[in-house]
């Protein structure tokens, strides 16, 4: 068996030793490697397969890491990681102690900017390009943006700024859904090569010669020659108006042509930013991913031959599906219910809603800011918008939540998916802050589901909240497999539920840690410590009646939530402080996420690291009660 070219490529410098005609073979080998790796680790597959040739061409032409290469979103970066010194660790991808599923500055000098949320690359590279200019550094700066990231306004804000500054910046638009480009043919490829040539940048007369090959009448309009030609190739007018020199569309899977164009741009003396429009196919080279780009965007482990993904053994439905199916039931009875997502229809379950109500589901693209204000506009007209957005992505629209929703007290319903820790996606996708950043806002109702039945009740409740905004958070993954209530089963606003009663300690749970609270309570009971458990349900408004009763009848209060400081526990603390319980000797402890970003791992290990599993709850209770004395007395009694 002949040795693969990829075997000798550990860094881009090794890649640059190859002849140009060997790059197609390297592309095939790298594509197969990515498929094999992700089949074992799970992760983002389609986007990486779509940029194989682009990855090779960029590292072949540019002198990385001195030349800076920034991947937008970051889930396109698996091929990049393999050829930038991480090949021997690539099968630790998304595992505890292993490689991140996204670019990460602390991981490699080849990752100059960490990215997991989209549309940041142009802003970041513009900053880098400006710094280099100030430092008289002539190295190149390249941004690769795509996979929907151009639907976000931040990208255009950055382009507008870059064009006005006339910065030396190269942007690659990885267009993998044909949303902008017309079909790519031999003529557009030929023209793109000519347009990127350094001769063109030096001599405008070259344009006249090219145009005359098509029609003599074009040559009479020499003053508009550039615009005419680039418009002939494709619709580059928008980018031109933003101050970018536009090249494309080009075939993003023709590695040799990519190398030629990138070399032309690199060697040009052109002043100002350049945009190269490369058309790629998401999932390229692997049929299951080509045929179902959405389902193969992010995958679990899968069989390479069949494409079949590993299924979990749980028979319980996912929280996401429970949300979608419950909303569908309500929408069948209420024509005012509409749903909004930000480029995540399947991730939020709204693809199911869209099948039933295609006219009432709106995918606004990766544009959470717009999505929130769009929902606010719908609410002003009497509609009942449900904005289903991951907790970590809703952060991008916080000003709109404050200004456009909360201040006006508009009844937008926020379905906050992926609330809390998310396992292998790591800190960039963890929903750590939504309890805090929503509970601080006047006019907000903030709920958290402890199980899938509670999620149904919270959806039911939010349907009828017509005078203020509301939010309900729920975790990633499957529920507990319990029976779901009817859609008429609603909650009393601001009222929790007593789950168990004891006399020593009261555990106030907010969210999906309730099962661990119950397990901890059982262990404590065997040690002679009895506990009351309140499933609080609401961080705002608080269930003041129950909390005050529990504080009056227990030696200690413990709060637990899967969120940062400033959330549920902070509101409980203020209530108890205002009522002078601490002056009366009440012991209080809060269990929250630690004040650091937790790297990816299995959910079980992450909860243990965060101190939010049942063992840590037991230890917290014992410590606050000085329970060694209690336990010793119980042993003597026995």
Q: Residue 452: in which H helix or E strand, if any?
A: helix 452-463
| Pairing mode, strands 413-417 and 470-473 | parallel
Evaluate whether 505 touches 450 at the Cβ level (below 8 Å). Answer: no
Q: How many CB atoms lie under 10 A from the CB of residue 584?
A: 10
Name the catalytic one among 368, 454, 561, 562.
Answer: 368
If we measure between CA atoms, which residue out of 507, 395, 477, 530 comes closest to residue 120?
Answer: 395
Between vectors from CA 119 to CA 237 and to CA 239, what angle results, nearest 5°?
10
Terminal-residue alpha carbon distance, the chain: 72
Distance, in Å, from the CA atom of 428 to the CA atom of 598, rounded to the nearest integer, reads 9
Alpha helices in 120-152 (DSSP H): 121-134
In the structure encoding, which two tokens stand for residue 430, read together? 């963890």
By residue count, the chain amounts to 638
517's enclosing H/E stretch is helix 514-526
E strand or H helix at 156: helix 153-165
DSSP codes of every residue in 371-419: HHHHHHHHHHTT-EEEEEEEHHHHGGGHHHIIIIIITTT---EEEEES-
Cα separation, 104 vs 106, whole angstroms? 6
Given 31, 87, 282, 518, which residue is catalytic? 282
For 574, the enclosing helix (H) or strand (E) is: helix 568-578
Is 217 a residue of the active site?
no
DSSP assignment, residue 438?
A: H
DSSP 8-state assignment for residue 310: P
Nearest Cα neighbor of 532 from 567, 555, 507, 512 is 507
Distances in Å between the alpha carbon of 307 and those of 43, 286, 297? 14, 9, 13
Q: Annotated catalytic, 368?
A: yes
Residue 539 exposed, middle or buried by CB count within 10 Å (0-12, 13-18, 19+)? buried
User: Residue 310 is encoded by which pair of tokens?
Assistant: 């590993």
396 classed as catalytic: yes
Task: Give the CA-trace dihedral at 53, 56, 62, 68, to 10 degrees.
Answer: 90
Q: Is the peptide bond before 65 cis (omega within 30 degrees of 0)?
A: yes
Residue 323: which of 298, 297, 344 has the closest Cα? 344
Strands 384-390 and 170-175: unpaired
How does strand 531-535 pair with strand 497-500? antiparallel
Candidates 396, 473, 476, 518; catalytic one: 396
Please give the Cα distance from 591 to 588 (Å, whole number).
10
Active-site residue set: 282, 368, 396
């Amino acid at each position: 068996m002949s040795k693969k070219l990829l075997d000798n490529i550990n860094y881009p410098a090794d890649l640059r030793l190859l002849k140009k005609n060997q790059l197609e073979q390297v592309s095939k080998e790298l594509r197969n490697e990515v498929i094999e790796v992700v089949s074992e680790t799970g992760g983002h597959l389609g986007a990486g397969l779509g940029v194989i040739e682009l990855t090779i061409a960029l590292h072949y032409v540019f002198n990385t890491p001195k030349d800076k290469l920034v991947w937008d979103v970051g889930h396109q970066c698996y091929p990049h990681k393999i050829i930038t010194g991480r090949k021997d660790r690539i099968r630790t991808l998304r595992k505890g102690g292993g490689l991140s599923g996204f670019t990460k500055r602390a991981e490699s000098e080849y990752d100059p900017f960490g990215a997991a949320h989209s549309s940041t690359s142009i802003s970041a590279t513009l900053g880098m390009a400006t710094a280099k200019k100030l430092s008289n550094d002539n190295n190149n700066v390249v941004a690769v943006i795509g996979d929907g990231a151009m639907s976000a306004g931040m990208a255009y804000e950055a382009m507008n700024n870059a064009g006005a500054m006339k910065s030396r910046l190269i942007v690659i638009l990885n267009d993998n859904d044909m949303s902008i480009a017309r079909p790519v043919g031999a003529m557009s490829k030929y023209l793109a090569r000519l347009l990127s040539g350094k001769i063109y940048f030096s001599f405008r007369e070259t344009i006249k010669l090219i145009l005359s090959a098509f029609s003599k009448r074009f040559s009479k309009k020499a003053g508009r020659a550039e615009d005419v030609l680039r418009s002939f190739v494709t619709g580059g007018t928008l980018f031109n108006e933003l101050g970018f020199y536009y090249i494309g569309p080009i075939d993003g899977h023709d590695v040799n042509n990519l190398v030629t164009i990138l070399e032309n741009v690199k060697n040009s003396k052109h002043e100002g930013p350049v945009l190269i429009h490369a058309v790629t196919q998401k999932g390229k080279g692997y049929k299951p991913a080509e045929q179902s780009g959405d389902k193969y965007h992010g995958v679990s482990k899968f069989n390479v031959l069949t494409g079949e993904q590993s299924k979990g053994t749980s028979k319980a439905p996912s929280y996401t599906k429970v949300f979608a199916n419950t909303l569908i039931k309500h929408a069948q009875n209420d024509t005012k219910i509409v749903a909004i997502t930000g480029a995540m229809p399947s991730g939020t379950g709204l693809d199911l809603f869209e099948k039933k109500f295609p006219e009432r589901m709106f995918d606004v693209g990766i544009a959470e800011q717009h999505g929130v204000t769009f929902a606010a506009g719908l609410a002003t007209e009497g509609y009942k918008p449900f904005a289903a957005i991951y907790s970590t992505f809703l952060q991008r629209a916080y000003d709109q939540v404050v200004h456009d929703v909360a201040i006006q007290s508009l009844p937008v319903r926020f379905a906050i998916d992926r609330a809390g820790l998310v396992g292998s996606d790591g800190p960039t996708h963890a929903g750590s802050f939504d309890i805090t950043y929503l509970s601080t806002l006047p006019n907000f109702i903030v709920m958290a589901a402890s199980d899938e039945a509670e999620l149904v009740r919270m959806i039911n409740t939010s349907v009828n909240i017509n005078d203020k905004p509301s939010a309900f958070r729920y975790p990633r993954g499957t529920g507990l497999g319990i029976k779901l209530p009817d859609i008429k089963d609603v909650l009393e606003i601001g009222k929790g539920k007593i789950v168990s009663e004891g006399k020593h300690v009261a555990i106030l749970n907010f969210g999906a840690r309730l099962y661990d609270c119950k397990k901890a309570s059982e262990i404590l009971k065997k040690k002679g410590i009895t506990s009351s458990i309140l499933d609080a349900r609401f961080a705002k408004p608080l269930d003041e009646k129950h909390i005050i009763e529990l504080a009056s009848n227990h030696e200690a209060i413990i709060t637990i939530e899967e969120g940062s400081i400033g959330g549920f526990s902070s509101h409980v603390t203020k209530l108890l402080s205002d009522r002078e319980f601490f002056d009366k000797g009440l012991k209080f402890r809060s269990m929250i996420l630690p004040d650091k970003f937790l790297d990816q791992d299995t959910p079980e290990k992450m909860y243990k690291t965060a101190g939010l599993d049942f063992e840590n709850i037991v230890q917290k209770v014992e410590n606050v009660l000085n329970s060694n004395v209690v336990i010793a007395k119980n042993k003597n009694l026995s």
